[in-house]
Structure 1
């Protein structure tokens, strides 16, 4: 072991991290082993550095064995980065001191809660964890059984949950039943109790019950059930290997659900018993996952909750110095987050504003680009992006001031939108489509990276891959055409796949041999097909992602349902091809294991969480022309939407006296404010807001001119006040 003074010196001189001028960071890092902490970490505040240095301090100063330290974070990618940096810095210290360190640094328990739960559960239970696709595929089978997807009461229930806005497809039904199922698990609701209270919606609980029966029969667990089993084993004190835990560090705690909180509190009893601590790190202003069951109050009320549950009194530390953004960007986001008075009530008590570590006076202002229509906007924005990425100096004069935008060659850049889809559900081209088209026309070497821009089942590589599977297992379409009770869209997709594959075979003068026996080694078939189209996967990073997702999905689903090494054509259709065709696959951000620096990146605001770019362009309304109710949810909410309604339904069902602590409209407003706060705080050097001119200047109605469009992103608060009227606070491009 070394002294705290030695460690402090090593942090500065060996690791190159000067914590002397940031007392909040220093206090968090050098805390005694038995001090639990509540770290409220603003954007760009160096929280990853703080977490890593805390771990190293526990190891080298306090002498805690790596195997007694647990760190959890939100994604596998973040967990891998945390572990990699911790081990690398630890090795640097060991090398510098020429230490003979006896413990194995790889025994640090660092991962997502799910990955850690899977590791420990596998020692006690013979189960296989299935991914979201396999879970969705099994749920889809139970939904389609006896044509329950056409049940009028089922559709009416979920239409009511979405406030009767539009119809509801089979795919959407499946997604919403999945969401309800997970919400019941994450809120630790007694399934039989709520099922007993159900009225017209009892079919939902029949579907969920059948789903769990299928999992049980095959020794499978999904992620929510995995966490519940982990909690049960902890409650029954069956995980003795965790009794020695001394330190629990939890990142992104603002996106924790109730079940996860209870797991962490169980683990905390071990740490405190061993004279250790539990420390949570998060930021209520960056909470984005309420729709997945996360509860922001678990973070904002954390001090009271852990005191009441475990009699622990954590030390509160605010990490608010921002090392990412310029002073103008920091001032802009501080202003934005303070506009709505009601929102302030949902924030952590006594939360200070963000401060800027770099107060250079020559930082660029916040810019805006607003045009009359999507074509003008996309043309001018593409030209601007091209100039910025190629290092061209941009000079302009506005309001008597001269501005020069010069960020050098190839600065990192991302366009953030509510949805990165290039084609709308109404088959209308959106801003991401036009940006891709314009940029690629200008320069083939400038890559537009938008893997979520298309539905994965409609991409060329997936169409060919799945189409070749179709032709191999059902060359004459007999099985395909005999399948009833699947959505028309899915039937259309299956036919499209087959046509793509037939064209591929014809163009490449290839033939295939039919599989005569209805006993198919799917993995061997998949290997043959993916090997034959590997060149397509190498054409772009997007293609590689699509290829790898489909391949991994098919392999995992095969492993989950396969009992003797073979599947029938019918099984492959129902368990794999139909769910893919129905749109059950989501792209996992953990697959983005390559640099985003060189691309023109287009992504949703949720995707951008945890990332940073030199240039951030935020689409605040390229597809919003007026104040129509249909766009209210993404600019100025009228109600709580699906997440709030499901929340209210569950609580009312299990507690007849339930009274919501806030309205659905308020919850929706808070979510939207947090979403745009996250988007604006991704920018390091340059922040640009873009949209249609009507967003800035208003529009003309049938009986009224200059109608203003209310939009949280452009500075409106829920009391109807426009704080940034005319967007005069932006320098217009």
Structure 2
């Protein structure tokens, strides 16, 4: 359509800037090139991808519907699509009006339908392929979310055949979860580990026959128990014509490898993948199958230093060794490095890069020839990296609250040699800051943690609220307990059905706590009393319809709980209830509805059909929440209120940036206790490495070459690299005095290398406040 020179001229004129030299090589590469783009934090990888997509259409005449672009999350995919459309419409509009071009070029630009570019996550892509390009006569699969998957996994994977009670099965799950004790060992924990193992069996393409063919009778029993749990879950999914996300990917790959989906493959001319460092083996093979259809026209963008989702089966070596992986397909991958960080101040970038180069052994697993991060000439130096150390967590929380208040509601934080740090008086708010932690839980083992203490200090002394819906286990939240108890009272007022159905003892105990919380909520009882009494007497009323939606009951009760209606955290809790009820609707024979009348027939336990409709709600709606198998996950939190301080896990902060980023690097490290070494200086593998060691010998990848402990160190360095690189202007590290880098508590977040040396002890790269 147009030349490369005309493309970059239009880019400058329509968008107001030209790509830098680093991105230019990736954007301008030939349409059939295999590109390996290593993009550090803040280097503009979304801009690079969007510009390359537009170049493929405008310069190389690749049809828009022949371009497939995926990224890791739905939000990131929406951002990429928005960028492509915005820039695309502006550039085609500029080209259509450019009198320097021929009429044919202007007409071609004007008629280009950019909307046809295929963008999304790998899961949405696979789902679309299976739906739109299925064989004649095949039923389209129903793709279930995490709530439905976890509900079925509980029922068919754990509870069926009494697997949840098997001590020998527990031993295997504990090994996979890298758990040394049974503290906190419950159904929810077991379900999480079983779910991760079930996903990894698919993601790593485990040969289950070889996996179960071990000589040890005891080990074979445990592995067969695991496989039977996974198969029972998968069978139930299949009977319902359902697929979870790992099985959507597996089915798409099976179809591609068998020569299916040819109609779709004939369209594909170029494949672009963002966040490739979090790819697993199944996903890699899907991308390779698509790339084969277009002669290796595959562009991957990522950063091995930011591979955070290892616990979800991501295999970082697929990115760091991309050149070796593609050479086996006959493609020569061209490495391109994006090293200029446009996000952060110069001092933050220097600190982040220094941290990445700190540990000598870590350098051996990074992408080869990786250049240092740098800032553009226009970047300001910014304030120095700051650190706050205090003797106790309580003192740390109080003083940190004071700093936050000073920056956002006071005269600013004075830094010697720099000046004052304060919010933008016109547009700034406390939502411009964030506290990043390894876990956002507000209590740990019954002891108040920094997120909880900070919440108290801010609200008590400064009238600033935090936003931390993941601060407590969902079933322990006060307003959740009231709502749960009200639902139980309405559905099963005399506990007759609860007594007659299968529930674990901890679930029954939580149900009792919920009922008690509702009884003690006098204002709620007064306001919602009429609804509760009406539901209690429904079987004696002729005014009730035969079937009533439990969703209607949920929202009727929540209307009398202002914390669920008006509070941002409460709205997340209510959404979790709604999602779990939706899951119950999909797995229950009653579709989440309550039968209000009975024909008089009962089963052996004395339950009528109406009772069974309530039983399903107890088992598949409220039961999983009470058991701890349902919690607030990242997908439920789409945005953060601007008037609150967000408290996030480091994983949750991936892809975000904050003008002021506070990173908890040791608020709970009072002593050199082994119990928290996995968070600071590992001496044994964590769950991610334990599962790799367990399953990888039976996969095409083979057993890992590095020890589990070394891989645990690698992942911990990556975690804090991501945390530190979220800062735009100010980076503040917070910890106890006991965790100083010149102390006895080894901590990779405080400059310790795995060889036991503390690189920051003599020369700390921060200024204390």
Q: TM-score, normalised by structure 2?
A: 0.88
Query: Could you list the runs of 4 or more consecutive aligned residues of structure 1 that deviate by over 6 angstroms after TM superposition?
Result: 519-523
Q: 1: CA distance between counterparts of 2:741 and 2:194?
A: 42
Deviates further, 286-295 or 519-528: 519-528
Structure 1 residue 38: Cα displacement: 0.5
Q: Deviations over 1:465-496 (max 9, x none)?
A: 433432332121112233345141x2232223
Tell me, what secondary structure is at the counterpart of 2:651? helix
1:62 aligns with 60
Is the contact between residue 479 and residue 563 of structure 2 (CA under 8 Å) also seen in structure 1?
Answer: yes
Is the contact between residue 29 and residue 50 of structure 1 (CA under 8 Å) also seen in structure 2?
Answer: yes
Tell me, what secondary structure is at the counterpart of 1:243? helix
1:151 aligns with 166
Q: 1: CA distance between counterparts of 2:588 and 2:367?
A: 46
Shift in alpha-carbon separation, 1:671–1:283, aligned structure 2, 3 A: same
Spell out the pairing of 1:428-447 with structure 2 (5 A cutoff).
428-444=447-463, 446-447=464-465
2:484 aligns with 466
Deviates further, 97-106 or 387-396: 97-106
Structure 1 residue 501: Cα displacement: 4.1
Kindly indicate whether residue 668 of structure 2 is the aligned counterpart of residue 623 of structure 1.
yes
Is the contact between residue 176 and residue 193 of structure 2 (CA under 8 Å) also seen in structure 1?
Answer: no
Long gaps (5+) in structure 2: 98-105, 595-612
Kindly indicate whether residue 541 of structure 2 is the aligned counterpart of residue 526 of structure 1.
no
Spell out the pairing of 1:556-705 with structure 2 (5 A cutoff).
556-562=583-589, 566=593, 568-595=613-640, 597-652=642-697, 660-696=704-740
| Aligned with 1:330 (options 334, 339, 349) | 349
Provide the aligned length of Structure 1 versus Structure 2: 711
Tell me, what secondary structure is at the counterpart of 1:321? coil
Is the contact between residue 343 and residue 728 of structure 2 (CA under 8 Å) also seen in structure 1?
Answer: yes
Kindly indicate whether residue 569 of structure 2 is the aligned counterpart of residue 542 of structure 1.
yes
Q: 1: CA distance between counterparts of 2:369 and 2:547?
A: 58
Is the contact between residue 521 and residue 565 of structure 1 (CA under 8 Å) also seen in structure 2?
Answer: no
Tell me, what secondary structure is at the counterpart of 1:290? helix
Structure 1 residue 26: Cα displacement: 1.1
Tell me, what secondary structure is at the counterpart of 1:649? helix
1:404 aligns with 420
Structure 1 residue 432: Cα displacement: 0.4
Shift in alpha-carbon separation, 1:592–1:9, aligned structure 2, 3 A: farther
Shift in alpha-carbon separation, 1:521–1:458, aligned structure 2, 3 A: farther
Tell me, what secondary structure is at the counterpart of 2:440? coil
Structure 1 residue 728: Cα displacement: 3.2
Kindly indicate whether residue 494 of structure 2 is the aligned counterpart of residue 476 of structure 1.
yes
2:474 aligns with 456
Shift in alpha-carbon separation, 1:523–1:449, aligned structure 2, 3 A: farther
| Aligned with 2:412 (options 372, 376, 393) | 393
Q: 1: CA distance between counterparts of 2:636 and 2:688?
A: 27
Tell me, what secondary structure is at the counterpart of 1:688? strand
Q: 2: CA distance between counterparts of 1:464 and 1:107?
A: 48
Is the contact between residue 320 and residue 352 of structure 1 (CA under 8 Å) also seen in structure 2?
Answer: yes
Deviates further, 713-722 or 130-139: 130-139
Structure 1 residue 306: Cα displacement: 1.0
1:701 aligns with none
Q: Deviations over 1:663-682 (max 9, x none)?
A: 11100000000000000000
Q: 2: CA distance between counterparts of 1:183 and 1:697?
A: 37
2:227 aligns with 205
2:101 aligns with none
Kindly indicate whether residue 196 of structure 2 is the aligned counterpart of residue 179 of structure 1.
yes
2:10 aligns with 10
Is the contact between residue 413 and residue 597 of structure 1 (CA under 8 Å) also seen in structure 2?
Answer: no
Kindly indicate whether residue 259 of structure 2 is the aligned counterpart of residue 237 of structure 1.
yes
Q: 2: CA distance between counterparts of 1:355 and 1:630?
A: 38
Q: 2: CA distance between counterparts of 1:526 and 1:459?
A: 20
Q: Deviations over 1:279-335 (max 9, x none)?
A: 000000001111111111101111111110x21112110001000111111111111
Kindly indicate whether residue 108 of structure 2 is the aligned counterpart of residue 93 of structure 1.
no
Q: 1: CA distance between counterparts of 2:624 and 2:681?
A: 34
Structure 1 residue 431: Cα displacement: 0.5
| Aligned with 2:146 (options 132, 138, 148) | 132
Structure 1 residue 237: Cα displacement: 2.2
2:283 aligns with 260
Q: 1: CA distance between counterparts of 2:164 and 2:469?
A: 30
Deviates further, 387-396 or 460-469: 460-469
Is the contact between residue 154 and residue 203 of structure 1 (CA under 8 Å) also seen in structure 2?
Answer: yes
Q: 1: CA distance between counterparts of 2:198 and 2:284?
A: 19
Q: Deviations over 1:601-656 (max 9, x none)?
A: 1101101110000011110110111111101100000011222222222234679x
1:702 aligns with none
| Aligned with 1:712 (options 719, 725, 748) | 748
Q: 2: CA distance between counterparts of 1:211 and 1:158?
A: 16
1:730 aligns with 766
2:75 aligns with 77
Kindly indicate whether residue 269 of structure 2 is the aligned counterpart of residue 250 of structure 1.
no
Is the contact between residue 584 and residue 617 of structure 2 (CA under 8 Å) also seen in structure 1?
Answer: no
Q: 2: CA distance between counterparts of 1:14 and 1:678?
A: 33
Shift in alpha-carbon separation, 1:522–1:220, aligned structure 2, 3 A: farther
Q: 1: CA distance between counterparts of 2:254 and 2:176?
A: 31
Q: 1: CA distance between counterparts of 2:707 and 2:60?
A: 47
Q: TM-score, normalised by structure 1?
A: 0.92
Q: Deviations over 1:569-618 (max 9, x none)?
A: 22222222211212222434344433554431110110111000001111
Is the contact between residue 589 and residue 607 of structure 1 (CA under 8 Å) also seen in structure 2?
Answer: yes
Tell me, what secondary structure is at the counterpart of 2:458? helix
Shift in alpha-carbon separation, 1:255–1:471, aligned structure 2, 3 A: same
| Aligned with 2:534 (options 487, 512, 531) | 512
Long gaps (5+) in structure 1: 699-706
Q: 1: CA distance between counterparts of 2:503 and 2:642?
A: 46
Is the contact between residue 144 and residue 486 of structure 1 (CA under 8 Å) also seen in structure 2?
Answer: no
Q: 2: CA distance between counterparts of 1:677 and 1:591?
A: 25
Q: 2: CA distance between counterparts of 1:28 and 1:393?
A: 43
Deviates further, 631-640 or 146-155: 146-155
Spell out the pairing of 1:19-38 with structure 2 (5 A cutoff).
19=19, 22-38=20-36
2:37 aligns with 39
Is the contact between residue 75 and residue 590 of structure 1 (CA under 8 Å) also seen in structure 2?
Answer: no
2:383 aligns with 364
| Aligned with 1:495 (options 498, 503, 512) | 512
Q: 1: CA distance between counterparts of 2:36 and 2:4?
A: 22
Q: 1: CA distance between counterparts of 2:317 and 2:548?
A: 46
CA-based RMSD of the aligned residues comes to: 2.5
Q: 1: CA distance between counterparts of 2:175 and 2:591?
A: 44
Q: Deviations over 1:355-403 (max 9, x none)?
A: 1125656521111100000111000000001111226222243xxx464
Q: 1: CA distance between counterparts of 2:14 and 2:131?
A: 40
Structure 1 residue 559: Cα displacement: 2.6
Is the contact between residue 522 and residue 558 of structure 1 (CA under 8 Å) also seen in structure 2?
Answer: no
Shift in alpha-carbon separation, 1:219–1:681, aligned structure 2, 3 A: same
Q: 2: CA distance between counterparts of 1:88 and 1:396?
A: 41
